[in-house]
Chains A and B, each alone.
Chain A
Amino acid sequence: MENLIEMRHITKDFLQGEEVIHALKDTSFEAHQGEFIAIIGPSGSGKSTFLTILGGLQKPTTGEVLIADGPFSRLNGKQRTKIRFEKIGFILQTANLLPFLTVKEQFLLYNRANRTSPNETRIKELFERLGIAKLAKNFPSSLSGGERQRVAIAKALYHDPVVILADEPTAALDTQKAFEVIKLLASETKAEGKATIMVTHDERLIEFCDKAFALVDGAMTQIK
């Protein structure tokens, strides 16, 4: 099976004062089509470092990240921004949506940025599958937390990326809403044939994932 995204012997060191922090220790990881993978760890475990290196927001100290078997982490900032724009869909904790754009306009922003015309069929299809069609004209401030995350999932999928990276997508939700959103994310991962990597501290979400890794002090072990 093709590796949609792959980490090869990644390490990441920070200098904090005079002390070297090993935020990630020799980590290798790969995600395939249709896989929903959870990275579980308490705060300070290196989760965010893992996700930002995977998303090309910062460079690893050693090792390499490949996306769709092509180079990623070794490219320069501008090239990585372009790949992030085209091949990665992000779902963040809360502030994912711009407050002054309606739900529909959040999607059009992508087309404005790369000067393409909106794919109305795709928008309609995603809106129906994620149950947000009736929210199209609402501003984010009038949505519930669960609705916001469903919009965020649809938005992350809209441009047909290779990989979805989710950063604590359930942080602002109660248990029932959190499970609903995660189930939706899992089914979309299968339906769209993406690889979704979710970073979370909530171990209850593991049951919805295909694989899970625990990250402790920068070292990753597979737990599912």
Chain B
Amino acid sequence: MFLAWKEIRHGKGKFALIVAMIALIGYLAFFLTSLAYGLASSYTNGIDGWGASAFLMTEDANDNSALSLIPSATYDEIALSSGAKAKLGLFPSVIKSAAVSSTQSNVYVFGVEDASFLLSSVVSSGTLGPSEAIGDFSLQKDGYALGDAFTLVGSTMTFTLTGFTSNATFQTAPIVYLNLASFDTAYGLPSGASSLVIVHGTVSSLPSGLKSYSHQAFVNSLPGYGAQVATFSLMIGFLVGIASFVLGVFMYVLTMQKVAYFGVMKVQGLSNAFIAFSVVEQSLLLTVFGVAIGLGLTLLSGLFLAGKMPFAVNTLFFVGIAVAFLIFSVLGALFSVRAVLKIDPLQAIS
């Protein structure tokens, strides 16, 4: 740590700029990753918490959950060897309210049966009586408050908000939960019918006409989701790859500037290992500082953006990016070490 740290301390201005550069590169990578991950999660975080083992849909729906209709009788035919099943009504919709200034809000309406496991993972308060509803907290941005009444577009029924969920969105729209009986009435569906059946366990007998999806298969069937995730993954993958490379080259250039000192040190008999170690140490030190600041900036931005933009932290991605940066900066430093080892100490002598 001696040489690496003393040099940083001596050239404070220069090294502050270097750390700032690494911090900004890190900020860019972390921040974009959080936005992309936030957007991807806003497609699915209303259903992620269920831990469902299967999503059942009619074959005729052709992967489009809003077109699936499972009658009550078919639901009864679904046999499980273990676990539980639950009906889920699901429709994209628009709600409007006289109590709220913003005219209309796009939502996803979920019809659920009381006490089903579908609710417990997201709802902490509120009741779902015949004309009651629970909505995602992002509806508060549109001006909704507890006790507000709203109507579903295309239906004459009025519902009252009795509670809010945190982070329950589906295909980026806030979810409004209704009692399944009210859902069926509102959309004119036969009593007890549902769009999907969600299984928490193992299906032993699947009635004909139904198709089973794993959680991932169901998510991938959502329109636009796969393409969007692929696009963002590629963009961020390239961003991290290129940024890591730039960082590595930077560390290389930084070390190569000091070749003259290394020559003098070698004349004085300082070992290659000692010199190489100082070089790698300094690169690590700068990168760790830079990445930490970039991470801090990202988390801070996340606080400011909460509720305004989809922003979600994924620890695994962050660790991956940080490790990529560290590996490349050490590689860059090691590359220059190779050159340092070849320096002829003779150059330091007239």
Contact = CB atoms under 8 A, between A and B. Distances in A.
Interface of A: 43, 47-48, 51-52, 55, 57-58, 78, 81-86, 88, 90, 92-93, 95-96, 98-101, 105, 108-109, 112-113, 139, 167-168
Interface of B: 2-3, 6-7, 9-11, 260-261, 264-272, 274, 345-346, 348-350
29 contacts: A48-B349, A55-B267, A57-B345, A78-B271, A82-B271, A83-B269, A84-B267, A85-B268, A86-B269, A88-B269, A90-B267, A92-B267, A92-B348, A93-B350, A95-B260, A95-B261, A95-B264, A99-B261, A100-B9, A109-B2, A109-B3, A109-B270, A112-B3, A113-B270, A113-B271, A113-B274, A139-B10, A167-B349, A167-B350
Given A52-B349, A93-B350, 15 more contacts: A47-B350, A51-B349, A52-B346, A57-B267, A57-B345, A84-B268, A92-B348, A92-B349, A95-B260, A95-B264, A95-B348, A99-B10, A108-B2, A112-B2, A113-B270
Given A58-B346, A109-B2, A109-B3, A85 B271 contact: yes
Contact of A90 (B261, B268, B272): B268
Contacts of B260: 95
A66 B315 CA distance: 61
B349 A105 contact: no
A103 B208 CA distance: 87
A98 B261 CA distance: 7
A108 B346 CA distance: 24
Nearest to A161: B269
Nearest to A80: B269
A4 B200 CA distance: 86
Contacts of B2: 108-109, 112
A168 B350 contact: yes
A85 B264 contact: no
Contacts of A57: 267, 345-346, 349
A88 B267 CA distance: 10
B348 A100 contact: no
Contacts of B346: 48, 52, 57-58
A139 to B, nearest CB: 7
B220 to A, nearest CB: 55
Contacts of B349: 48, 51-52, 57, 92, 167
B255 to A, nearest CB: 14
Contact of A84 (B7, B9, B264, B269): B269
Nearest to B270: A113
A85 B270 contact: yes
A86 B272 CA distance: 15
A100 B350 contact: no
Given A81-B269, A90-B267, A100 B6 contact: yes
A105 B274 CA distance: 16
A81 B265 CA distance: 11
Contacts of B6: 100-101, 105
Contacts of A113: 270-271, 274
Nearest to B8: A100
A217 B245 CA distance: 51
Contacts of A83: 269
A93 B11 CA distance: 24
Contact of A92 (B7, B9, B264): B264
B271 A98 contact: no
Interface centre among B261, B270, B274, B350 (most CB of A within 10 A): B350
A92 to B, nearest CB: 6
Interface centre among A92, A98, A108, A139 (most CB of B within 10 A): A98
A100 B264 contact: no
